[in-house]
Every structure is written in C-alpha cells, then in structure tokens.
Chains A and B, each alone.
Chain A
C-alpha cells in the first residue's frame, strides 16, 4: 500500500469505520511500520486529551434554574403576544374609524346633484350649469368632456 494513502486510512481505522479488507490490510501494515504506529498513537492521544479536558460541571440546581428561566421566557412571550394582539386590534379599530370619518366628510362635502327642473328654472349656480345655460341649451362635445372630467 502507498504510504500517503495509509496515512489517510489511519483516521477511519482508529474509528472502526474502515471496510473489512482495508482494516485487515492496515493492521498488517502497522505490525511492520513504526512511523504509522507512532502516528496512530498520536491520534489516540488526541482523543484521550480531548476527553480528559472535558471537565466542566454545572451547579447542582442548574436544571431547576433552567426550568424557571424557560417558564419566565414563556410568560414573557405570552405577555408580548397579548400586547401585540391588543396593539393590532387598536390599529385596526383606528383605521376603520379614520375610513369612516373620511367617508362621512366626503359625503357631507359633496354638492347635491343638479336636478333637471332647476336647470330649466335657471336656478343652478354651479359652473357647469351656468355654462350650459349661457349656451342656451346647446352643449358641445367639449362641454361633455369637461363635465366628465370635473365630476
């Protein structure tokens, strides 16, 4: 076996992740190759060092304090969701109110339609009516367009 290739195989070999024919082949190689044995030993040592460095422990009441913190966060989330829903309802209500007020304002401001009998009586005061009356009843195409655009 090529030495470079063997070096790559040492890692899965150490983990027991090498397919059987390679596993056996490598075991045989290791019996006769000191540098590979040394390399494998270094890899084992890394594992050992990592495991022995993991010596952190948490306070005895850790689990309880986690539960308390989780509950608190849940309550805060619920409170926030409630506040958010309330705010959304308020915004919705205000929007409806504004729309209603604008609608009402528009309705109150709009001029009453000019009725035919008032045209005939010449009482209408709005500019279009005046124009029609001035032309003695003749309405041009331009007047119709003007009327459509200004309505």
Chain B
C-alpha cells in the first residue's frame, strides 16, 4: 500500500504546527482522490468541490490519525464515504439503460469513423465516457471495490482493510462488478474485435 516514511513525517510535522506539511500531503494525493471521485460519481463538475471536502475532513481529523492503516487508505475511505453519501443524496444512478447509451455511442463512433478525419482525441473521449457511464450503472458497493482494484491497484487484503469488509466479500464483489461491466460493455467489446 502507498504507505511511505514521508507520510509519517508529513503527519508529524502537521501535528507540530507546520501547515505547509499539510499542503504537501494534499499535493501528494490530490490526483488520486480527484480521479476516484470522478470515476465514482461520473461527472467532472463536482470533482474539485468534493476533493476539497475530502481534504478538509482530513485536515480536521489528522490529529487523531493513528497509523493503524496506511494514510492513503484512510484518505481513500473518507473519499469513498463522501461519494457514497453524495450518490445517496443525489440519487445519481441514471434511469436510461446503459445498453441504449452504449449503442448510441457506438453508432456515433461509427459515423465519426466514416468521416475518417474525425479527431482521434474526441473518439478516445467518447470511449472513456462509455466506461465511466458503465461504472455508474454498478451499485455503489461494486463500484467502489472495482475502482480500488482497477484504478488504485490495491490487493484484496488492502481493499478489505480500507472498506472494513472481509477479503471474501472483496473477491465476490470484484467478480460481480466485472461480470456486470462485461455485460454492459458487450457492444464495446464487439466493436473492438
């Protein structure tokens, strides 16, 4: 896990009153936190505000952090909880079936391919959107676990510690999340092959 000696030093420095250490800590993890929020919620608009909220919570509770887990998994837990609250609050799961959305996207991609000159960057963006939308179709529990695995590269044991669930639950949630994603992205895979 991303536990480094520097984390410990930064936390100790912050506790001793050096607020610059907190800034360094934010810089170290802001990218991961922002992307986890983006992938979990599926929209870019609220990423900055929610990332800020995560680090404000870290700031408030850092004095009580005891290094019983890695600093990052602790920060990540804060981010995950915040996202789950946000999902519940906004009832963010979309009503439109993703299959429809994916097919529409693929048609658009085909049309843009016909034009040949269509920007590759735009196509790549659309492909990205397909996976981000697919993630939004998963339940919050499955989404969190798959992101910790696929994006953060955490082991089953680390995910279990971060989410406070058993490694067996981690294994089964990852399996189910992947199965759901496979089904949702069926059209996409066909297109690729």
Contact = CB atoms under 8 A, between A and B. Distances in A.
Interface stretch (B32-40, B66-74, B80-88, B111-119): B32-40
Interface in A43-100: 43, 45-47, 49-59, 62-67, 69-71, 73-74
A116 B34 CA distance: 89
A74 B77 CA distance: 22
A151 B35 CA distance: 78
Given A66-B26, A67-B22, A50 B150 contact: yes
Interface residues of B, number: 46
A62 B22 contact: no
Interface string B12-32: 000000010011101100110
- Interface size class on chain A is 20 to 34
B48 A53 contact: no
A23 interface: no
A95 B124 CA distance: 69
A76 to B, nearest CB: 12
B51 interface: yes
Interface string B79-109: 0000000000000000000000000000000
Contact of A55 (B128, B156, B182, B192): B128
Interface string B43-66: 010011001100110011000000
Given A53-B131, A66-B56, A58 B30 contact: yes
Given A56-B35, A70-B59, A70-B60, A51 B151 contact: yes
B59 A46 contact: no
Interface string A19-55: 0000000000000000000010011011101111111
18 contacts: A8-B175, A11-B171, A12-B171, A15-B155, A42-B185, A49-B130, A49-B185, A50-B135, A50-B150, A53-B129, A53-B131, A54-B38, A56-B35, A56-B38, A58-B30, A58-B48, A64-B23, A67-B22
